[in-house]
Amino acid sequence: MPIKIPGQLPALSVLGNENIFVMSEHRAANQEIRPMQVAILNLMPNKIETEVQILRMLSNTPLQINVEFVRIHKNVSKNTPKEHLDNFYCLFDDIKHKQYDGLIITGAPLALLDYTEVSYWDKICEVFDWADKNVTSTMFSCWAAHAALYHHYGLNRHLRQQKLSGVYQHYPLDNKEELTRGFDESFNVPHSRYGYINQADYQSVDELNVLAQSPDAGVYLVASKNKRQVYLTGHPEYDTSTLHEEYLRDCANNTKKDNNTPLPINYYQDDDVNNNPVGSWRSHGSLLFTNWLNYYVYQITPYQLDADHINSTLIK
């Protein structure tokens, strides 16, 4: 089954050219089915690129998914046309009366700011609290994962002096865990971040399970025991070229004198930036999103989607 998105969204043609099954709103309106309602709160500056990446991850499932894009404020974007935002995005304040089966909150380039220095910190905390009552399961990515862990459990991140960038080998910790069902004994995930939380800090919270980690990149996948929260510290949705584009951007933002931009490791052929990058994570990324939709959303979400029914599905 497809994901349903607005007929004029740029991602529709991009994914269609990749032979990924997407459905316009018009065609979906004629189907008698209870589709999954999934909101994507996109905090990334280049929203169109992130839309394509996440929709690609959501597309490999037998479920029909209605996707709604959300932004947190009306601020002018330097990287996304105003017309695109006006046409395809809702403000959080305009949808917070609704309930959703799933919610994805993306990362944001805010790694070096204290949480209280983020201009929309109070608003994102409101989103976190709203999701607890109105969404069956929420997936937090990268910065959003650390921010939500701080808000919900008081787990504060640490910052590296040098950015963690590259493709790292990871290991699932529980062969019976549904989120990593079908994963190999080791799998790759891209990381691009300064922040980290120690494994012991995660383990100090009874409500959380660490599900996958890397010897070099640390904890990658964490979920609450009731399946309502999933935390990703890496970027399984990234395109093959994304780390390369970030590396070039970081180099351009640093002066030659104090340029400490690390070359993404295990990424370029022969670790040579002049060679093509190698994508080695997409199949496990797609499987993770499919497992989340199936086991953490579809299998436990109520047919009648309202706050009372959502909260009645809490897994103790």
Single out the catalytic residue among 142, 146, 246, 284: 142
pLDDT of residue 300: 87
On whether residue 293 sits in a domain, the answer given is yes
In angstroms, rounded to a whole number, what is the distance separating the alpha carbons of residues 89 and 69?
Answer: 5
Q: Which tokens is 176 given?
A: 């019976």
Residues 178, 151, single domain; the answer is yes
Q: Which tokens is 62 given?
A: 């037998």
The residue whose two tokens read 């890397």 is 214
Instruction: Please calculate the CA angle 21-3-23 and round it to the nearest 5 degrees.
Output: 60
On whether residue 260 sits in a domain, the answer given is no
In sequence order, the β-bridge partners of residue 36 are 65
Residues 148, 196, single domain; the answer is yes
Q: What is the CATH number of the domain that holds 139?
A: 3.40.50.880
| Residues 106 and 144: beta-carbon distance below 8 Å | yes
The residue whose two tokens read 């990149």 is 217
Domain of 18 in residue numbering reads as 1-31
Residues 223, 205, single domain; the answer is yes
| Residues 229 and 138: beta-carbon distance below 8 Å | yes
195-225 b/e with 16+ CB inside 10 Å = b?
A: bbbeeebbeebeebbbbbbbeebbbbbbbbe
Single out the catalytic residue among 49, 51, 237, 246: 237
Residues 187, 116, single domain; the answer is yes
Residues 77, 102, single domain; the answer is yes
Single out the catalytic residue among 146, 152, 235, 284: 235
pTM over 0.85: yes
Domain count within the chain:
2
On whether residue 184 sits in a domain, the answer given is yes
| Residues 240 and 278: beta-carbon distance below 8 Å | yes
Residues 200, 64, single domain; the answer is yes
Amino acid letter, 177: E
> Where is the binding site, in residues?
163, 192, 249
Residues 92, 131, single domain; the answer is yes
pLDDT digits (tens), the chain, 316 positions:
445 667 677 766 776 666 554 555 554 444 445 789 999 999 999 999 999 999 999 988 888 899 999 999 888 888 899 999 999 999 999 999 999 999 999 999 888 899 999 999 999 999 999 999 999 999 999 999 999 999 999 999 999 989 999 999 999 999 889 999 999 999 999 999 999 999 999 999 999 999 999 999 999 999 999 999 999 999 999 999 999 999 998 888 876 545 578 899 999 999 999 999 999 999 999 999 999 999 999 988 876 667 766 676 655 4
